[in-house]
Amino acid sequence: MIKSIPSPFQTPAQPGVLCAILDASVDLDLHIHAEQAVALFDNTPYAALQQVGPVALLCPPDAASMHYASELLERADAGCVAYLENTQCFEQAVEHWRSLLTVSTDDAPAQLMRFFEPRWLEPLLHSLSETERLQFLGPLSAMAWRNELGWRHLPRPVAQSSPRQQAPGWLHVGRERQAKMEEQRLQVLAIRFAEDYRGVIDVPEPNAFVFRQLCAAQQAGYMQTAEQERWLRLALIKGDGFWRQFPHAQLLARDDLSLGDKLDTLEQI
């Protein structure tokens, strides 16, 4: 079960060794600060992209690596945290993470997946069956990540002494799963926005209200979080379902205006 926790670097959610998976593309000086990090793209089809790929970094208490990972993950969507039972599990965990880098889709048998991306980790985990979730965790005792709801934590639901190593591409991310992930991503944003705007949302179910607005924004072509928040503010001013009413519906149907121009005009009406 996913729950909110304080920063795992300040208050460990459970016993074990912390290991950070960090995205080198977020900080091009990462290799200077994390000399002991292991490149996850090494020995994979993505080896040529190592300099901007993910790394795994053990974070002993009070070590420089721990402070660096903590600071980076607090200021950027730069990865996630894994809990290992002991340092002897590290090599097995590295091979496991390498297997997660490749997934199959409805269009390709092998495609790169940034499984460590914290904004999409919770939607991905929600899309998995219980068996798939166990396979995704592999040798880890838990995972943690920071998204719009703060630090989140998923422990391994059952003990598994010797998890079987999965081959790259074992996870299928087809269109149906992608749709579930996109919906769950909007659910996360809805919870956050409902909290941010609770002083002005006067409805019995604020989360459901916000989720409905975000879905409408996405259907209208607004995929960026900032655009969806602007759409929500319009709904708070103009009312639920404003996009179906005159003159807003007619404006949104125009093909001579960009999406940005339509938002600008809606805000001026």
Tell me the pLDDT tens digit for each residue of 104-159. 999 999 999 999 999 999 999 999 999 999 999 999 999 999 999 999 999 998 76
pLDDT tens digit sequence for 47-79: 999 999 999 999 999 899 999 999 999 999 999
pLDDT bucket at 246, cuts 50 / 70 / 90: very high
Distance CA 172, CA 109 (A): 9
Is residue 12 over pLDDT 90?
A: no
Orientation angle between helical segments 206-219 and 225-238, nearest 10 degrees: 120
The type of residue at 98 is R
C-alpha distances in angstroms, 30 versus 50, 114, 155? Answer: 12, 18, 28
What burial class does residue 108 get, using C-beta atoms within 10 Å of its C-beta: 0-12 exposed, 13-18 middle, 19+ buried?
A: exposed
Stated pTM of the model: 0.92
CA distance 80 to 116: 6
pLDDT score of 13 more than 80: no
Tell me the range of 24-33, 155-164, 236-245 where mean pLDDT is highest. Answer: 236-245
pLDDT of the residue at 259: 98
Return the structure tokens found at 267. Answer: 């805000």
Query: Which class for 121: exposed (0-12), middle (13-18), buried (19 or more C-beta within 10 A)?
Result: buried
- Cα–Cα distance between 133 and 158 in angstroms, integer? 11
Q: How many Å apart are CA 54 and CA 138, to the nearest integer?
A: 18
Paired with 152 in beta bridges are 4, 145
pLDDT tens-place string over residues 169-204:
999 999 999 999 999 999 999 999 999 999 999 999
At 34, the pLDDT band (50, 70, 90 cuts) reads confident
Residue 30: per-residue pLDDT? 93
Helix (H, G, I), strand (E, B) or coil at 165: coil
The pLDDT value recorded for residue 109 is 94
Residue 112: how many CA atoms within 13 Å on its side-chain side? 12
Q: How much of the chain is helix, strand and coil, in % rounded to 5? A: 45, 15, 40
What pLDDT shows up at residue 159? 64
- pLDDT grade for 164, boundaries at 50, 70 and 90: confident
Name residue 39's beta-bridge partners.
Answer: 55
Asked whether residue 161 carries a pLDDT value surpassing 80, the answer given is no
